[in-house]
Structure 1
Amino acid sequence: MPADFDVVIVGAGAAGLSLAHHLCAPNSPTPLSVALVDAPPGPLRPPPRTWCFWEPPGGAYDSSLAASWPQLRVRAADGPCTVSRFSRLRYKMLRSDAFEALVERRLSLTPALCRIDATVSAVRDVPYGGEVLTQDASGESVLARGRLVFDSRPPRRLPPARTTLLQHFTGWFVRTERPLFDPATADLMDFRTPQPAHGLSFGYVLPLDPHTALVEYTEFSAAPLDADGYRRALRHYTDEILRLGRFHVTAREHGVIPMTDGHFPHRQGRSVYRIGTAGGATRPSTGYTFAAVQRQSRAIAAQLRAGRPLRMPLPYGRRARAMDAVMLRALDSGRVDGADFFGRLFRGVPGERLLRFMDGGSRLHEDLLIGLRTPMVPMLRTVVELPFRPRREGPVTLSSPSPISPISPTDHEESTP
């Protein structure tokens, strides 16, 4: 039985939309028919999210950015700060709704793309490719068949791992009465927050203008907090540490991102592949995903548009994954102090080199130089121990990252002066 499409993509989040965008670029030597399957409007579609990444100015999505910064600041627990100034890179913030609007405008000009709004019930390998079984809003069954299927849905369960931590966070978009923020500088990690007994915590401040910023409280630990715990932590950070004075909360975001050395299989059969977080695009040591999704999407599209057999690109190399496994275990075991660990890296490593390392693009000699800035004895002990640790079954995925919930005009949360 022939396939209906060359490619079927399941999910229209960052990974699914990015792959559709790159596959449907004009002037392809091998034109491709593409189906993009997404849940109907409603509760199954995720709310708006934010994605952050770094790259040179002039990127493909610059026209849709919420903001970008040429400087990153890391504050130590005792107050001193390290500012990294970039000549060739920018730290960028992209809202998912702006990204979707940009890509949708481009895809609307592509006759080879078919949009299917339906709830996916199964994805399976078949002799001629892959099948996606769905049900539309009226309850009718819809079957999409493709020579290749790329599934971007979050995994239902994390893979077996030696170490699994969670990066969990809650953020407020705040509007202050006084101009308090430097629009040229983002606070990547502020370790003046009270540290948990196990793991680490930090504040995160992304200014949009002198009065407006996304302010987040983040932890790396084994379990998330309850809603009141995040509220207390953010209140302490905004009132006692940042001293924002009176402000309004205009939107909130919350997320839980797995940080695990488990292996995410990128293939589910001869013709079905996983992409995005489900395909290992989330960096275990940092939680960043968007840049790896772009690399993965471009590499897949380049092969298919040229008519070549697909060799699925890995988001990160073996060396990067091995270093992440050591860092996660050293942090989880308590051998290293997380605030001190990251503070050392930002104080001792040039900013652009460290960002290349965090993105998995650093070279061997750069990795060795960065390794010299870490606590050597506990890290070496962890290297020796790690091969003997068993991999344990992963937990059920808790949530998708970075949903944003708007605040109605009657629901503004206002600080005390």
Structure 2
Amino acid sequence: MNEYDYIIIGAGASGLLLADAMLNDSFFEHKKILLLDKDLKDTNDRTWCFWEKGDGQFETIIHKRWNSIHFQGEDVLKRTEINPYSYKMIRSIDFYNHYLGRIKESSNITFVQEAMLDINELATEVTVKTTNNSYSGKYIFNSLFNYKMATEQKKYPVLQQHFVGWVIKTEKPIFNANEVTYMDFSIPQKGNTRFMYVLPYSNDTALIEYTLFSEQLLPKAEYEAAIKEYIADRFQCKTYEITEKEAGSIPMTAYDFRERHTDRIRYIGTAGGWAKPSTGYTLMSTTKKIPKLIEHIKKGDPLLKMKLKDKFWFYDMLFLDVLQHDNANGHSIFESIFNTLRPQKVFKFLDEETSLKEDIVYINSCPKMPFIKALFRRLF
């Protein structure tokens, strides 16, 4: 049996950031750590985007940043600078190369490419069976997410932020390389909350994503037809090369994933409920939760005691209740917010850095009746 102090399952953002945090803390210097993933992590399989003030911990691997955003709805059109924030993008291949490079040079962290098949928790250890081996660890940190983890309960709605994106290169310069289209709700809603998201890499190259907040996925052809129509209508462009494609689904739920934790197994990342329920943004949320998790480990606290519920969790829960009850009018919430508030105010609230006084300003920018009804449904 291959024995370790800690086993991290999944070398995505949360797994790599946890491994790197352990690498940088002397407490783990003499601990034996295993990082498992079924893939080599040698392809650019996704992008991570976030907003941030000034420089942050990812500056060396930022692929592109923007200082302005564009928001559009049926009756709202805003183009504005977001200083002191900037909107940043990381390509996953750069993220993998950076963090795996550091890990592979370490003496106490081992990266193994094997798929996990089963986990068995015993009194003093946890055994992990993979396609080729069995490993034992005192503690397991598992980032592998399955929607059944959230959908087996009925107390909280489970929506999906699902999307398909194309990176296209055009013959002529048709994009504003300095501006992100953060949300464009001017497209047909078709009974759901639907918007377009555009990240221009240059004046002739951009990632264009068709994104929905809803319970069910669409047939792939429907996403791609919507992207094609949007490029033709918005940019008056019919000739372009598709250089990359991506697709994904991020859970949107206020379900408390701590119910899945045990004293020796802790779920992290999306599997641990680290994705912000109302937006799906996970990377910066992960950077805030990793230090808290590290402190729990060092103190010897039970892993299941790390709590995520606070006032922002409650706000997100009501928002998702509203979307589940009337998904077709989700666009009106975002239009009301961006029509009333500067994007800096929105970002601060979504970063969960606002005071109660600031929260009230944000809440007052939303349509009142849907949230009042959602609150009463929760109470009664």
- AA in 2 matched with 1:9: I
Q: TM-score, normalised by structure 1?
A: 0.83
Q: CA deviation at 1:322?
A: 1.4
Counterpart selection for 1:120 from 116, 120, 126: 116
1:365-405 C-alpha deviation (Å, 9 max, x unpaired): 221110001111221121111244xxxxxxxxxxxxxxxxx
Q: CA deviation at 1:187?
A: 0.6
Counterpart selection for 1:110 from 106, 117, 122: 106
Map 1:405-416 → 2, pairs under 5 A: none
Q: CA deviation at 1:119?
A: 2.0
Q: CA deviation at 1:268?
A: 2.9
More relative contact order, 1 or 2 (CA 8 Å, 6+ apart): 1
Relative to structure 1, the CA distance from residue 50 to residue 268 in structure 2 (aligned partners, 3 Å threshold; closer, same or farther) is same
Report the counterpart of residue 401 of structure 1 in structure 2: none
Q: Is the 8 A contact 2:174 2:235 kept in 1?
A: no
Confirm or deny that 1:101 pairs with 2:97: yes
Q: How many correspondences in the alignment?
A: 377
- AA in 1 matched with 2:33: V
Q: Unaligned stretches of 5+ in structure 2?
A: none
Confirm or deny that 1:380 pairs with 2:377: no
Q: Which moved more, 1:83-92 or 1:146-155?
A: 83-92
- AA in 2 matched with 1:261: A
- AA in 2 matched with 1:187: T
Q: CA–CA distance in 1 between the matches of 2:334 and 2:306?
A: 26
- AA in 2 matched with 1:88: P
1:297-350 C-alpha deviation (Å, 9 max, x unpaired): 23223454x555365685854211211121122222228822221011112223
Report the counterpart of residue 332 of structure 2 in structure 1: 340
Q: CA–CA distance in 2 between the matches of 1:336 and 1:238?
A: 23
Report the counterpart of residue 278 of structure 1 in structure 2: 271
Relative to structure 1, the CA distance from residue 120 to residue 85 in structure 2 (aligned partners, 3 Å threshold; closer, same or farther) is same
Q: TM-score, normalised by structure 2?
A: 0.91
SS of corresponding position for 2:257: coil
Relative to structure 1, the CA distance from residue 204 to residue 40 in structure 2 (aligned partners, 3 Å threshold; closer, same or farther) is closer
Q: CA deviation at 1:135?
A: 2.4
Counterpart selection for 1:298 from 269, 291, 294: 291
Q: CA deviation at 1:232?
A: 1.5
SS of corresponding position for 2:374: helix
SS of corresponding position for 1:66: strand
Q: CA–CA distance in 2 between the matches of 1:283 and 1:301?
A: 20
Report the counterpart of residue 89 of structure 1 in structure 2: 85
Report the counterpart of residue 8 of structure 1 in structure 2: 7
Q: Is the 8 A contact 1:170 1:217 kept in 2?
A: yes
Percent identity (aligned): 27
Q: Which moved more, 1:347-356 or 1:167-176?
A: 347-356
Q: Unaligned stretches of 5+ in structure 1?
A: 137-141, 389-417
Q: CA–CA distance in 2 between the matches of 1:249 and 1:69?
A: 22
1:16-52 C-alpha deviation (Å, 9 max, x unpaired): 111111111165586432111111559xx99711111
Q: CA deviation at 1:63?
A: 1.6
Counterpart selection for 1:233 from 226, 241, 265: 226
Q: CA–CA distance in 2 between the matches of 1:315 and 1:282?
A: 14
Q: CA–CA distance in 2 between the matches of 1:271 and 1:255?
A: 30
Report the counterpart of residue 17 of structure 2 in structure 1: 18
Q: CA–CA distance in 2 between the matches of 1:277 and 1:315?
A: 15
Confirm or deny that 1:153 pairs with 2:144: yes
Q: Is the 8 A contact 1:23 1:32 kept in 2?
A: no
Alignment RMSD: 2.5
Q: CA–CA distance in 1 between the matches of 2:43 and 2:79?
A: 35
Deviation >4 Å, runs of 4+: 26-31, 310-316
Map 1:174-323 → 2, pairs under 5 A: 174-197=168-191, 199-265=192-258, 267-304=260-297, 306=298, 308-309=300-301, 316-323=308-315
Report the counterpart of residue 56 of structure 1 in structure 2: 53
Q: CA–CA distance in 1 between the matches of 2:302 and 2:22?
A: 13
Q: CA–CA distance in 2 between the matches of 1:310 and 1:166?
A: 30
Confirm or deny that 1:165 pairs with 2:159: yes
Q: CA deviation at 1:69?
A: 1.3
Q: CA–CA distance in 2 between the matches of 1:226 and 1:358?
A: 31
Q: Is the 8 A contact 1:33 1:112 kept in 2?
A: yes
- AA in 1 matched with 2:253: T
